[in-house]
Structure 1
Amino acid sequence: MGLKVNYLKESDFPKLKSLLKAYKLKPFSWLRGVKEGNLLRYLGKQIDNLLGDKDKDKVIIAQSKGKVEGLAALSEVLWDSQYFGFKVAEMGYLLAKGGYQEELKIKNKLLSFIFKICQEEKVKFLNLRVDTADLSSIQTLEENGFHLITTEMMFAWDKEKYKSYQFKKGTPPCKVRGYREGDLPALLRLAKYFTTNRLYQDPHIPEDKARGVYKEWIKNASYGAFSGNDLVLVGEREKRIVGFTTAKIDDSLSYDLGVKLGIPGLVGVDPQFRGLGISPYIMGETIKSLFRKTDIVAAPSHITNLVMIRSETKTGAELVSCEYIFHKWF
């Protein structure tokens, strides 16, 4: 197979259809009732959007005899680069078609091209997510110096089947209300108890930097709560903030996939009040609020975050997909 690897051009886009159609692990393929054609159109649009900012985003293709056999995408993560003080990038896609050995060859070629870009642009930290069923990508990444950091599981709640979590021990464990001005210091105090994200699992990242990411997320969510872009709910007990949740509403899927998605984010509970059912109770109230404006609610959870996973399953969530997260340092 004589492979040529180059940047994707607008004129190459029609050639992608065969590759994208053959890709079985399309984003949001777990959504029930969504037609394959709609998933294909959504994937194509996501790749097309990457062609708009060539300084930040790059799409690479592998061709043989004029046919596109593989594709990879590389994007600088601007917020992460600014926060960490060095260039951070992520790979959005690593696709190939053919038998297993053909896929390995194509993906190795694509990665070699990606690595050259990273060296030229002084990228220090590269990460990507891979479906746990994508065996050829997993092998390729391991053979090229990537390290498995964690597994992220996606849980989803169906609007028609969802039943609000009922606290079964009498009085609810806390009062749940919307975010108010003045709540931020208490929420930031709880940020130090978040220790399950992928950054904590990577020994190259200092603990204070990993913890600081949560503080920034909480700040951004609190600002978004005032603008209406985010949902922040606070749990109070004995006039004290004992927990909170953050969430977003994503309506970008409405046109192609016909659904509006609610995404719970952080769930924090003061360790002094754990074991009272506060986490699933606040989570249940969050889902109830999201379903007033969305069709599907889905939340990612790292496999080590057992508190979050228990809260999700107690509120009726179903496991719909799993991804491995890989990191590579240059």
Structure 2
Amino acid sequence: MKKVEPLNPEAFATYVPLLQAYPFKPYAHYGRRVGEEALQQLFLARVQASIKSSAHSALWVPGSDGAQGLAVWTPLAWDSQQLGVGAGRLEYLIASGDYKNQYATKEVLLRAVLKTCADQGIQHFTARVHASDLSTVHLLEQYGFITVDGILTFSLDIMDVHWPSPPAGLEIRLSRPEDIEPIKAIARSSYVCGRFHSDPCIPKTVADELHAAWLENSCLGKVADAVVVAAENSRILGYVTCKIDRQTAEYFGLTIGTIVLVATAADARGRGVARAITYGALNWFRDQGVQIVEVGTQLRNIPASRLYESCGFRLVASHLSLRKWIGVSDLQ
């Protein structure tokens, strides 16, 4: 009988072999470029930081030769505020062995996680899982999680690439305080494919306002390092939010940035605005010393995938976003 215990941050060395063997580490698609050792060190640092943080909760399943599995999750204060219910995210669900053994260990962990989440007041519980992590995907489905999103991740090495100037009359620049309200207005009407809009338990108005608040926080520098906008005659036509992962420079010897959110005003689409802002964001990243830029888009957002491919990005990874309303039926 597998036993679940609270994870002890001071015994981190016990969990290291399990974590080192985990195949779905962040940035694993750069393994040939940066090396497996660098991937492991970054991953270990992130997991260790998570389990030491009071904002996270963690459990593990001990075995005769170390850890058989572990789970880490986080209550999400901002999401809870936006959704009006307790929200949380499963950060890691990892187990050793073949598919059957992984599934059994993860099942014991997931039961304990869901029970603890209910005790913590978490109802809206999400997970983003690598598309090849089949034991986790199948287990979450079995326990009432539904798929609300599929994410394709594209990557571009920007060091030796040059992009054309924006169309005449289109100004590409960083956002200003007076841009926040026009940006929020675009955000309210742009994200029909995302996980919040795809969730049958979240009203469209709530999802719209969530994205507006997300963009305001991005412009204020709370969740983004920069917001690049396209303006025409002082009117904001679109934006790109940018985030730099500074840890990658320390562990990989190269810096990776991410395009997080992109949107264009409805009446400005089809004019090359999204492409021009994307190029502007790539220029900003390069000015910050970033070597690689990633961008994710929804599996069903075909126009966005075509845009990124035409800008030189290539597909490197895919993930699924799943969600469970703990104690609440999706049909209610």
Normalised to the residue count of structure 2, the TM-score between the two structures is 0.91
More deviation, 306-315/317-326? 306-315
2-structure distance, mates of 1:90, 1:301: 20
Contact 2:173 2:280 in 1 (8 A): no
1-structure distance, mates of 2:230, 2:263: 10
Other-structure match for 1:162: 161
Residue 323, structure 1, aligned to residue 290, structure 2: no
The root-mean-square deviation of aligned C-alpha atoms, in Å, is 2.0
**Please, which of 244, 263, 280 is the counterpart of residue 285 of structure 1?**
280
Query: 1:109-128 residue pairs with structure 2 within 5 A?
Result: 109-128=108-127
Residue 50, structure 1, aligned to residue 47, structure 2: no
More deviation, 154-163/189-198? 154-163
Contact 1:245 1:265 in 2 (8 A): yes
Other-structure match for 1:87: 86
More deviation, 247-256/285-294? 247-256
Query: 1:134-213 residue pairs with structure 2 within 5 A?
Result: 134-160=133-159, 162-164=161-163, 171-172=167-168, 174-194=170-190, 195-213=192-210
Secondary structure at 2:4 match in 1: strand
User: CA 1:229 to 1:137, structure 2 compared with 1: closer, same or farther past 3 Å?
Assistant: closer
Contact 1:162 1:316 in 2 (8 A): no
User: CA 1:316 to 1:166, structure 2 compared with 1: closer, same or farther past 3 Å?
Assistant: farther
Secondary structure at 1:182 match in 2: helix
2-structure distance, mates of 1:58, 1:181: 37
Contact 1:173 1:278 in 2 (8 A): no
Contact 2:150 2:299 in 1 (8 A): yes
Secondary structure at 1:50 match in 2: helix
1-structure distance, mates of 2:313, 2:61: 39
- Alpha-carbon distance, 1:165 to partner: 5.1
- Alpha-carbon distance, 1:311 to partner: 2.3
Aligned amino acid, residue 5 of structure 1: V
1-structure distance, mates of 2:173, 2:117: 46
Aligned amino acid, residue 212 of structure 2: K
Contact 1:291 1:297 in 2 (8 A): no
Contact 1:71 1:110 in 2 (8 A): yes
- Alpha-carbon distance, 1:166 to partner: 6.5
Residue 78, structure 1, aligned to residue 77, structure 2: yes
2-structure distance, mates of 1:319, 1:165: 23
Residue 260, structure 1, aligned to residue 260, structure 2: no
- Alpha-carbon distance, 1:228 to partner: 11
Other-structure match for 2:329: none
Other-structure match for 2:226: 231
Contact 2:243 2:257 in 1 (8 A): yes
User: CA 1:141 to 1:228, structure 2 compared with 1: closer, same or farther past 3 Å?
Assistant: closer
- Alpha-carbon distance, 1:178 to partner: 2.4
Contact 1:6 1:61 in 2 (8 A): yes
Aligned amino acid, residue 205 of structure 1: I
User: CA 1:176 to 1:166, structure 2 compared with 1: closer, same or farther past 3 Å?
Assistant: closer
- Alpha-carbon distance, 1:203 to partner: 0.7
Aligned amino acid, residue 281 of structure 2: T
More deviation, 273-282/252-261? 252-261
Secondary structure at 1:30 match in 2: helix
Contact 2:158 2:282 in 1 (8 A): no
User: CA 1:181 to 1:20, structure 2 compared with 1: closer, same or farther past 3 Å?
Assistant: closer
Query: 1:1-40 residue pairs with structure 2 within 5 A?
Result: 2-31=1-30, 32-40=32-40
Residue 133, structure 1, aligned to residue 128, structure 2: no
- Alpha-carbon distance, 1:253 to partner: 2.2
Contact 1:165 1:280 in 2 (8 A): no
Other-structure match for 1:248: 243
2-structure distance, mates of 1:211, 1:88: 17
Deviations 1:88-110 (A, max 9, x none): 11110111111111111111011
Contact 2:240 2:281 in 1 (8 A): yes
- Alpha-carbon distance, 1:307 to partner: 3.4
**Please, which of 287, 293, 296 is the counterpart of residue 297 of structure 1?**
293
Other-structure match for 1:221: 218
2-structure distance, mates of 1:228, 1:271: 25
- Alpha-carbon distance, 1:84 to partner: 2.0
Aligned amino acid, residue 38 of structure 1: A
Contact 1:251 1:259 in 2 (8 A): no
Structure 2: 5+ residue runs without aligned partners? 327-332
Contact 2:152 2:298 in 1 (8 A): yes
- Alpha-carbon distance, 1:308 to partner: 2.6
1-structure distance, mates of 2:238, 2:53: 40
1-structure distance, mates of 2:255, 2:12: 28
User: CA 1:103 to 1:281, structure 2 compared with 1: closer, same or farther past 3 Å?
Assistant: same
Contact 1:154 1:321 in 2 (8 A): yes
- Alpha-carbon distance, 1:258 to partner: 2.2
- Alpha-carbon distance, 1:36 to partner: 0.9
